Amino acid sequence: MPYRAPISDYEFLLGHVVGFKDVAATEKFAEATPDVVSAILTEAGKMCEEVMAPLQRPGDLHPARLENGVLRTSPGYADGWKAIAEGGWIGMSGDPEYGGMGLPMTVTTAVNEMMSAACLSLQLAPLMSQGQIEALEHHASEELKALYLPKLMSGEWSGTMNLTEPQAGSDVGALTSKAEPNGDGTYSVTGQKIYISWGDNDFCENVCHLVLARLPDGAPGTKGISLFLVPKYIPDENGNPGVANDLKVVSLEHKMGLHGSPTCVMQYDGAKGWLVGQEHKGMAAMFTMMNNARLGVGGQGVGAAEGAYQHALAYALERKQGKTPSGTIIDHADVRRMLMDMRADLFAARAIMLANAAAIDMAKATGNADWAARAALLTPICKAFGTQTGMRVAETGLQVHGGMGYVEETGAAQFYRDVRVTAIYEGTNGIQAMDLVGRKMMDGGEAAARLLDEIEDHAERARATVPELAGPVWEATESLREATEWLVAQEDMNNRFAGAVAYLNAFARVLGAHYHLIAALADPDGPRAKLARYYITARLPEYAGLLDQAQIGAGDLFALSADELAA
């Protein structure tokens, strides 16, 4: 089934819903006019439709493999990477001084989402490079930036992120990789990293690893970690790949999905590395990359949802079964329910993602701390709800196909398998929810309250035209405010954490309703108002049960002992 890039959806969301006009009105992003943005999205969409989408199935059928220590990527992936690189899609938001396009993150996020919908496995490669580019821009020395950034942005070299070790997954502070100063400004990095996405490839001249490791005088836990740039080939005096560094891919993981993306066990044996940022401040530097990647992974979920929706819709339009006006299953009420759920949630998740990116752009363009706080608040919601929507939509898409969804030929099952990991990597969705109710509420819930004020103000104004939609949005927001106040008042963090996932999902439901309401007002007689009506009537009410759950506290969760759970 061919992929169709949803350009008009982005144009509508950017033009009317997520505040992109404010971004384009800043001096920094003044060149991002609607015409320019539409042209960029159209060009990227064409590449996704024509180059990347045809690689989706071959990557699944012919996973990356390791042959005598040499990594071989899936058929066609080298050409796919070339098209991504030549289109300039890796350095889209990169600093123009180093070869980037300097575009708003909002535009990059839309392009990344399209690439994810077309071929998730391959898209993970440029996503890793983009995160590394941002981390280096913020934290690397001028020498490192001058050498690495142009190569990463052009796609001659690629980037990875290396946090995870067998005993250090969610608890990154438990890592044991070590770094020793060499006395010449470089370091020797030793340790094993697991699950490293795109740890190697056969289409770039060099692969640059950002590796977290501890210096001899590094304190235990996250406070004592430093970040190092460790290239596969050590650049020579001309900046070209020179001798091989002391690192290798030990093996590749066999996975449920995402087969085209090589997930590597990496071994570093005194590999030469360069410090990025300050000693012992590696987590702060890595967080730049992780926040970029969290938005990106939320976008992967949204992209997978779009791909799965398009597949399911095409099938429903063709499959004849039962007596319906059209003769096909699309006229069965339950099939309609599935398609409407998919489409309405997809709109909500995409709007949250783009609003998150727009807040990042506003923070960058204005330096205003409120925008930075808004972006920080939205990031865990975007990551968790985007990926959850990807999983749910892919699962529902499979159901629309009936038995044909369970067999592999239709591709419905691949979306389901591929997207599953997005809820796990880049901080599991549970960890995202804890971040939302923990770190992101350390301001006493102020950033959340500001956002809820805006949503209520908007709903209040919308009452005059669409009271039946605006009323439920206002009421849901008020309930969310009460739950937020309850959460912030909990001194026992376990009480907050117990309800964190439910709270995050309720927050996302309310945000989704807010953006649907804006859409309904912008397109009062069109399909977007009808979709908004469905979302607010059928999807939003979930918030009430979720908020009840968010406030149960930890008591009942621990009522059964571990032994009783096992009995």
Ligand X SMILES: Cc1cc2nc3c(=O)[nH]c(=O)nc-3n(C[C@H](O)[C@H](O)[C@H](O)COP(=O)(O)OP(=O)(O)OC[C@H]3O[C@@H](n4cnc5c(N)ncnc54)[C@H](O)[C@@H]3O)c2cc1C
Residues of this chain that bind ligand X (CB under 6 A)? 161-164, 169-170, 195-197, 255, 258, 263, 421, 424-428, 430-431, 434
Q: How far is the CB of 114 from ligand X (least distance, A)?
A: 21
Cα distances (angstroms) measured from residue 375 to each of 326, 446, 448 = 46, 13, 11
Which of 350, 383 has the CB closer to ligand X?
383
Which residue lies nearer to ligand X by CB, 501 or 510?
A: 501
Contact status, residue 371 vs residue 28, Cβ threshold 8 Å? no
Task: Provide the token pair at 391.
Answer: 């999983």
Say whether 280 sits in a helix, a strand or coil.
coil
Give the nearest distance from C-beta 281 to ligand X in angstroms.
18
Q: How far is the CB of 156 from ligand X (least distance, A)?
A: 21
| Three-class DSSP labels, 352-395 | HHHHHHHHHHHHHHHCCHHHHHHHHHHHHHHHHHHHHHHHHHHH
Single out the catalytic residue among 426, 456, 491, 564. 426
Sign of CA dihedral 184, 185, 190, 196: negative
Smallest gap from Cβ 500 to ligand X, in A, equals: 9
Whether 156 contacts 91, CB under 8 Å? no
| Residue 72 or 255 having the CB closest to ligand X | 255
Q: Pick between residue 174 and residue 314 the one whose CB is nearest to ligand X.
A: 174
Rounded to the nearest 5°, which phi and psi values hold at 74?
A: -65, 155
Q: How many CB atoms lie within 10 A of CB 538?
A: 13
Q: Residue 77 or 425: which CB sits closer to ligand X? A: 425
Catalytic status, residue 142 = no
Q: Is 254 or 323 the residue whose CB approaches ligand X more closely?
A: 254
Tokens found for residue 384 = 């968790």
**Cα separation, 246 vs 236, whole angstroms:** 15
Q: How far is the CB of 288 from ligand X (least distance, A)?
A: 15
Torsion of CA 90, 96, 101, 103, to 10 degrees: 110
- Give me the least distance between CB of 504 and ligand X, in Å please: 13
Alpha-carbon distances of 346 from 179, 330, 388, 389, 546, rounded to whole Å: 44, 19, 10, 7, 20
Please, what is the minimum distance in Å from the beta carbon of residue 494 to ligand X? 10
Nearer to ligand X by C-beta: 46 or 178?
178
Whose CA is closest to 306, among 348, 265, 276?
348
The minimum distance between CB 178 and ligand X, in angstroms, equals 17
- What's the rounded Cα separation, in Å, for the pair 330 and 349? 24
Number of alpha carbons in the 13 Å side-chain half-sphere of residue 215:
20
CA distance 127 to 146: 21
Q: Alpha-carbon dihedral of residues 381, 386, 391, 394, nearest 10 degrees?
A: 160
Return the residue nearest ligand X (CB atom): 169
Between CA 429 and CA 439 the distance in angstroms is: 15
Q: Would you say 201 or 263 has its CB closer to ligand X?
A: 263
Residues assigned a catalytic role = 426
